[in-house]
Amino acid sequence: MRPFHLAFPVDNLEKTREFYTKTLGCNEGRSSDRWIDFDMYGHQVVAHLVDELDQVATNAVDGDDVPSSHFGVILEMEQWNQLADSLVKLGIEFIIEPHIRFKGEPGEQATMFFLDPCGNALEFKAFRSDDMIFATD
């Protein structure tokens, strides 16, 4: 699989740098006074400094109020558990606490949502098996 690229808005580059490198463990790539590249599990995500951030709408998904705009990585279950434990220990405030969604259904998954320091919603999830990622039955 090839790495994906995602750019997202932030209103504070220093808080963003600290969060993505120290909290999430991303390596920093190139940067300027207006943007920073991060290596997020082999994918290039880029924080772009903006003057104003927009509010995010939500949708109901399996009983949770999910931010309609969000990004993250599908991890292996062990990685997901390690990240969840680390975030809990750091006192991260979750939008949606780590839990299993769609229990007993196609696409059953571990999921958690939280915000970066600039209000961007992140979701990290895991499946028991990668063949469940797009499962419909």
Per-residue three-class SS string for the chain: CCCCEEEEEECCHHHHHHHHHHHCCCEEEEECCCEEEEEECCEEEEEEECCCCCCCCEEEECCEEEECCEECCEECHHHHHHHHHHHHHHCCCEEEEEEEECCCCCCCEEEEEEECCCCCEEEEEECCCHHHCCCCC
In a shared domain, residues 101 and 76: yes
What is the average per-residue pLDDT within 116-133? 94
Q: Tell me the pTM.
A: 0.91
Q: Is residue 137 a part of any domain in this protein?
A: no
Q: Total domain count for the chain?
A: 2
Q: Is residue 117 a part of any domain in this protein?
A: yes
- Which domain does 18 fall in, by range? 5-49
In a shared domain, residues 100 and 65: yes
What is the average per-residue pLDDT within 87-114? 96
State yes or no: pLDDT of 56 exceeds 80: no
Residue 137 pLDDT grade (very low, low, confident, very high; cuts 50, 70, 90): confident
